[in-house]
């Protein structure tokens, strides 16, 4: 760089000034006549400035010891570097420069080759995708033509029915007109004999006509529900699953709706620690008994750090978190939390919705410069919550063994699961924990007391056991104190099996599940879990798990090569 301005690369060396200049600074510095005798040369001709040896003050460091990888003077070579590979500094620099150029060239070549492969692979991938979508387009076209033909046949049939209906009505209208003319004619002529003689038959004919009209119905509108449509939808779903395409609406919470997960999908056994993992404590790099959590679209993790009475936010690849709610010690002030169990993000209001368990309330806390929260639901022993695609809030009330739904802005909720006291009947819950709401607004709820997961469809008076329900145990047919749950679009249930330190996958209708994460005993290793609580999938199908016992959040990447 230019020694004068320190902004532009130096181009010239002034032998008299012994300063490196850029061309502009050189002109300015040498404008006076006294500097006209100064000689400037290209910067490459700048003489080498040797450094004094710190050991031998009368000597310069003019040599390079390749053995020790350091600059040395002549006396150093004689005293300390005998037998070492020592060369003059210029020759050593020239040799090192050649070596660097060689490796730079080799690396550049390798990089270009990889980039070319990437372009080739990208083109190949685009061709494959194009081929797939051309096939899909052809399927759609074929089905469209078939459906048009079927609908045409139905329309023609409806047209025939309608025409027949109109003809029958016209016939009855003509009969009625004839009877009316005969009646008016006899009445006008005061032909009482004829009137009385025809009375009985006319009344019978009118009654018969009235009965026939009552039985004559307009053809019902035909619903175009054709079974091939359902088969086509299933085929498209299968194609998407085979392509590992995850269907996700970014506007929906990650614990509502569902994504496509291939039924045979697998995850890396070793989870990446994305939050905590530094032991328990209240430092910003630590968690203490974390429970529920929420993952933003950018993979930012919002955690209910229960025993620290705060909500902390950990951005992707961060080594510490940031307190975004609470953190002022346990208490019931609007600026405090007390054992928060769960948290979600309400994008419409850009706020956190928090289960403030020991304060028996649900709080809304602004995300932008929020210093305190607003109580939106009171007197509730809240353990878990989520929100559906229309903004309704679902809250687990563990104390009343029920789940309630609250319309946006409402303070009174409607019971959608349980509500019949604690018990193991299908219409009861026992210490419900976490919930998941699918796209049909069916509610899935984990039960700590019954060691099962239940599904309650909209309007149902009782639930269906979809995982566990055989009592507490450690076999593949059992659960032990289940916590977090998630459901994919095939109806497969994923459960944080806390007591067994594992994550279970339970296919729809199955009598037992399979272990997909953990199951290696309680521990701190990356392939071990320690009292798993919260469980979530991100938009890519990667699985996040909160370890309540080892104070961390792990991310298990889906195996995309499987």
pTM: 0.58
56-101, pLDDT tens digit by residue? 888 888 888 888 888 889 889 888 888 888 888 878 877 877 777 7
- CA dist 483 and 385 (Å) reads 12
Q: What is the pLDDT of residues 165-220, one digit of tens each?
A: 677 777 767 777 776 777 666 666 555 555 565 655 666 666 666 666 666 555 55
Beta bridge partners of 374: 364
Q: Which of 416, 404, 324 is nearest to 362 (CA)?
A: 404
Give the CB-side neighbour count of residue 98, counting CA atoms within 13 A. 5
| pLDDT confidence of residue 218 | 52
SS3 string of 185-209?
Answer: HHHHCCCHHHHHHHHHHHHHHHHHH
> pLDDT per residue over 434-470, tens digit each?
999 998 899 999 999 999 999 999 999 999 999 999 9
Rounded CA separation 512/6 (Å): 71
Q: What is the pLDDT of residues 252-265, one digit of tens each?
A: 556 656 677 888 89
**What are 328-376's pLDDT values in tens digits?**
999 999 999 999 999 999 999 999 999 999 999 999 999 998 999 999 9
pLDDT at 12: 87
Q: How many CA atoms lie within 13 A of 151 on its CB side?
A: 11
Identify the bridge partners of residue 456 per DSSP, sorted by sequence position.
443
Q: What is the third-level CATH fold of 272-556?
A: Neuraminidase (2.120.10)
The string of pLDDT tens digits covering residues 307-338 is 999 999 999 999 999 999 999 999 999 999 99
- Do residues 77 and 66 touch, judged by C-beta distance below 8 A? no
């Amino acid at each position: 760089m230019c020694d004068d301005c320190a902004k532009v690369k130096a181009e010239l060396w002034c032998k008299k000034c012994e300063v490196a200049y850029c061309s502009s600074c050189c002109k300015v510095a040498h404008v006076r006549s006294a500097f006209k005798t100064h000689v400037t040369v290209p910067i490459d001709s700048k003489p080498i400035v040797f450094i004094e040896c710190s050991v031998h003050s009368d000597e310069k460091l003019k040599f390079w010891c390749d053995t020790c990888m350091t600059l040395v003077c002549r006396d150093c070579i004689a005293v300390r570097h005998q037998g070492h590979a020592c060369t003059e500094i210029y020759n050593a620099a020239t040799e090192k420069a050649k070596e660097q150029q060689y490796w730079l060239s080799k690396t550049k070549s390798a990089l270009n080759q990889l980039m070319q492969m990437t372009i080739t692979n990208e083109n190949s991938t685009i061709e494959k995708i194009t081929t797939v979508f051309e096939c899909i387009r052809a399927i759609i076209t074929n089905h469209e033509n078939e459906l048009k033909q079927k609908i045409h046949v139905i329309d023609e049939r409806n047209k025939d029915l309608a025409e027949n209906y109109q003809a029958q009505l016209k016939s009855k209208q003509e009969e009625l007109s004839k009877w009316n003319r005969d009646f008016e004619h006899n009445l006008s002529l005061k032909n009482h004999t004829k009137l009385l003689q025809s009375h009985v038959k006319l009344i019978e004919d009118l009654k018969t006509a009235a009965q026939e009209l009552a039985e004559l119905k307009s053809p019902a509108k035909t619903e175009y529900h054709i079974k091939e449509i359902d088969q086509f939808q299933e085929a498209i779903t299968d194609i998407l699953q085979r392509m590992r395409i995850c269907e996700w609406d970014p506007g929906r919470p990650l614990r509502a709706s569902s994504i496509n997960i291939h039924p045979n999908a697998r995850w890396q056994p070793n989870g990446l620690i994305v939050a905590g993992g530094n032991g328990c404590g209240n430092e910003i790099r630590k968690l203490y008994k974390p429970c529920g959590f929420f993952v933003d679209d950018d993979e930012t993790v919002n955690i209910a750090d229960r025993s620290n009475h705060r909500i902390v936010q950990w951005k992707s690849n961060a080594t510490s978190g940031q307190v975004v709610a609470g953190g002022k010690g346990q208490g019931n002030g609007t600026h405090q939390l007390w054992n928060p169990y769960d948290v979600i993000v309400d994008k419409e209001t850009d706020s956190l919705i928090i289960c403030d368990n020991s304060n028996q309330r649900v709080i809304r806390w602004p995300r932008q410069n929020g210093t305190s929260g607003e109580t939106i639901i009171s007197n509730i022993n809240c353990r878990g919550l989520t929100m559906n695609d229309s903004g309704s809030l679902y809250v687990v009330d563990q104390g009343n063994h029920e789940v309630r739904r609250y319309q946006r802005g409402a303070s009174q909720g409607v019971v959608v699961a349980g509500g019949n006291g604690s018990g193991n009947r299908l219409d009861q819950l026992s210490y419900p924990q976490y919930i998941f709401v699918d796209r049909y607004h069916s509610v899935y709820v984990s039960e700590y007391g019954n060691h099962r997961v239940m599904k309650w469809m909209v309007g149902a008076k009782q639930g269906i056991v979809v995982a566990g329900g055989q009592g507490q145990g450690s076999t593949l047919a059992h659960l032990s104190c289940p916590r977090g749950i998630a459901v994919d679009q095939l109806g497969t249930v994923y459960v944080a099996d806390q007591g067994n330190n594992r994550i279970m996958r339970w296919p729809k209708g199955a009598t037992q599940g399979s272990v997909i994460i953990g199951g290696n005993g309680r521990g701190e290793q990356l392939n071990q879990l320690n009292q798993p609580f919260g469980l979530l999938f991100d938009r890519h199908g990667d699985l996040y798990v909160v370890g309540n016992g080892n104070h961390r959040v792990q991310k298990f990447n889906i195996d995309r090569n499987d």
